[in-house]
Every structure is written in structure tokens, then in C-alpha cells.
Chain A
Amino acid sequence: MNATMTSEQPRNASHVRQTLIGIGITVAIFAAAIGGAAAGTLENMERERAILLETILSGDMNAAERESRIQVAKTRLVDLERMVLRDKKLIGRNTPAVRAAFDNYDLTFLVHASTEKSRSIADHWLGQVGVSTTALMNARMGRR
């Protein structure tokens, strides 16, 4: 009986050790996958940005309405921009959408870039696409 017990003990210890290593490896594999955010952060941000630009350019609303809509969009967009900037799945993802997004920080991350420069979103965006207040003031009306 004793002999059986002593021969079983090392086998059990080896089994426990193997199980522990197995658990360690499984968890390490799981840990290696940590870091990726849910897919579609860029798409969500681009949709919100498009809606915001539509609001800025829309002629169907008055100034107060536009301002309140911009404020709502801004609070939503600031989070979405951060999600994109922190999304590890986008690192090195060489697709046209990702390349275009990171080509121009000022145009893509509108809320962050405009706040950083202490300008309104509309002014900032128009400035980035080449339409400044000075340029508009200097423009002359004429026929083509």
C-alpha cells in the first residue's frame, strides 16, 4: 500500500505541474491577445465627423440650432476620436481608410485639433480645406 502511494505521489506531482504549466500557457496566450479594441472605431468616428460637417455646411438651420447640434456632436466626437487614437488594431493596418485617416491629423481629429488651436470646429475645418475668413473677405463677386 505504501509502495503504491509513494509511486503515485511523483506521478500526481508531475500531473499537477503539467496542469499548472498548461494553465499558465493558456492564460499567456489570452494575455497576448489583449490590447485590441472593438472593430469599427474608425468607421464610427468617420460617420460622426461626416454628420458634423454636414451640420456645419447645412443651410437648412439657423445659427443657434447649428451651434447646439455642433455641441452635441462635439461631445460624442471627442470620445470617438480618442477611441481611434487608442485603438491598437489600427496600428500598421495599411488600408486606404486608415491611411487617409492618419494622413492629416487636423482634418481627421477635428475636435482635438480645433480645441488644441483654440478655434471653432467650423473655422478650423474651413482653414484646413483652404477657406479662411480673410480669403472670403478678399473674394470678389463676379461672373465666370
Chain B
Amino acid sequence: MSRKTPPTLAAAIVLATALLTPPAAAKNAASWSPSASEQLIKLPGDYLKKAVDNDFSRSRLAAALIDLDQNISLKQRTLGDLQAAIERADGELRTELQHQFLEEKRNYIDMMKEHQDLRAKRARTKVRLYERLLSKLNRSQRAVTPQQAELLTKQNSARERFEASAAKIDTRLLSSSMTAESKYAREYAKNLTAIESLVSAVKSHPMNQAPEIAGVPVSRGEYLRQLVAENQAEVAVVDQERAILGYMAKLVSLDALALSEGIDASNETELAEAEDPQAGVTGAVEFFVSR
């Protein structure tokens, strides 16, 4: 006992300490800093969300998340293999494999923690971005002063008066003028026809629909609030998943201590069949509840 315990206990302490320490600095390098530009607010329909997602997909944060996803999937496969190997082994080899299994579990927890941090970072960045866009939108809508409102009214009535009298004025000017229709008038009329046909095509285009929530058209402000809520929900889910990871870490620590004390007799424990590897944290719970 005294010969075997110290190195294993030391390993258990190292494991427990490692589970409490923050993960590697790699996540600090994974960054994404989108800017809430005026152009984003003007984008039609759900183009805004697509633009943000597209910007994210080109960031270092997205690359880090993809890499980590792949590593986690590989790690789950390793855990499954080790679990199967432990079932077949006995004696010292079994203890050695169990030790390795704990090590791999610890690595898996580290990776999952990093993964959760990156996901939380992505969700929080999106929340901040959408909130900034929302405040910009609100500011631009509130920004009309009484003087500006008066000007807009005058401009509208001027345009209405002009539109109402334009045809009559054209007839009178053309009948009395020495010159023919101007180049500007001719080109404008030609371009207007083209613009009108393009505008009608744009309006009827399926991708140019107003932003919708569950099939109901909504205002830009409401759409942005929905996006903020969706990402806030993602942050909350990640927080909940942290609790799962905490329990996993606790189990690994207990397993390590049990192994070090020699309590974990191989005939008392039956290792469950490995589940199919899953990307989510819940897919690995099986590795942790069984020893």
C-alpha cells in the first residue's frame, strides 16, 4: 500500500489540481471582433444574421472552434477505445489503463471547458454586436429633430407637388420651348423604366423578404431583439453545461482518489459499453459515471 499509493496519489492530486486550473492560453488567441457598421443595419431581411455568421466563419475564433470540435470528437473515440480495453484487461495492465482513462478524461474536460469558453465568447460577442446595432437603430430613429421633421414634411410636399404637375409641365414646356426634350429628361425616362422593372424584380425576390420570426414579418428592431435573445439563450445553455462539466471533473477526481486508495477493485466495477461518440458534452457523460 505504502509502495503503491504515493505515486498514484500524487497523480490524483495533479489531476484534481489540473481540473481546477484555467485551460491553455490558446483560446486567448482565438478572437472575433465584428464592428457594428451602419451598413449592417441597412441589410435586407435576414441578411444581417448571414453577414454576421459569415464574418464569424472567417474569424480565428471560428477556426479554433472547428479545430477543437475535431479534437473533441477524436478524444471521445479514444475514451471509447480505452473503456473497451479496460473491460478486456485485468491485473496491472487494467490499473494502468484505468489511469490512462482518467488522464484522457481530464484532457477531455479541459477541451470541453475550452470549447464552452469559446462558445460563450462567440455568443457574448454576438449579443454585444446586436445590442450595439439595436442602439444605433434606435438612435437613428429618434434622431429626427422638430426642425428636421418640418423639413421632411416640406420636402415631401414639394415632391408630391412636382409629381402631380410634372406631366402637365412637360407638355407645356415642350410645346413652347425652342429646344426639344433635354438629354437628362430622355435618359432619366429611359433609366426610370429600367429601374422600375428591377425594383419590381427585387420586391418579388424570395430572398428579399422582411425579417421574420416564426413566419411573422417583424420590424428591424424586433428582429435584432430576437437575435439578442437567441444568443443570450446560448450563453445560458453554456453556463448550464459548465455545471455538467463540473460534475464530470468531480467524478474524475473521485475516481483518481479511489484508484489511488486501491478501493476501486476491478471485480466490483463493470464498465458500461461505450456510447457512439457525440459532439455535445452530454454525449460523454457515460465515460464519467462509470469507472
Binding site for B on A (CB under 8 A): 18, 21-22, 24-25, 28-29, 32-33, 71, 74-75, 78-79, 82-83, 85, 90-94, 98-99, 102-103, 105, 109, 111-112, 115-116, 118
From B57, B177, B188, give the contact of A75 (CB < 8 A).
B177
From A25, A94, A105, A118, give the contact of B47 (CB < 8 A).
A25
23 contacts between A and B (CB under 8 A): A18-B58, A24-B50, A25-B50, A25-B54, A28-B51, A78-B173, A82-B162, A85-B159, A85-B162, A90-B155, A92-B144, A92-B148, A92-B155, A98-B151, A99-B151, A103-B154, A111-B169, A112-B165, A115-B169, A115-B172, A115-B173, A116-B168, A118-B172
B233 contacts A by Cβ under 8 Å: no
From A83, A91, A112, give the contact of B155 (CB < 8 A).
A91
From B47, B168, B177, give the contact of A74 (CB < 8 A).
B177
Binding site for A on B (CB under 8 A): 39, 42-44, 47, 50-51, 53-54, 57-58, 144-145, 147-148, 151-152, 154-155, 157-159, 161-162, 165-166, 168-169, 172-173, 177-179, 182, 184-185, 188, 207
Beyond A75-B182, A112-B165, A116-B169, 13 additional pairs, beta carbon < 8 A: A21-B54, A28-B44, A29-B43, A32-B39, A33-B39, A74-B173, A85-B159, A99-B151, A102-B154, A102-B155, A109-B162, A112-B162, A115-B165
Contacts of B154 in A (CB 8 A): 102-103
- In the bound assembly, the distance between CA atoms of A18 and B151 in angstroms comes to 43
Contacts of B145 in A (CB 8 A): 94
- In the bound assembly, the distance between CA atoms of A18 and B58 in angstroms comes to 9
A24-B47, A25-B43, A92-B148 known; A83+B184 contact, CB < 8 A:
yes
- In the bound assembly, the distance between CA atoms of A21 and B172 in angstroms comes to 51
Shortest distance from the beta carbon of A82 to any chain B beta carbon, whole Å: 7
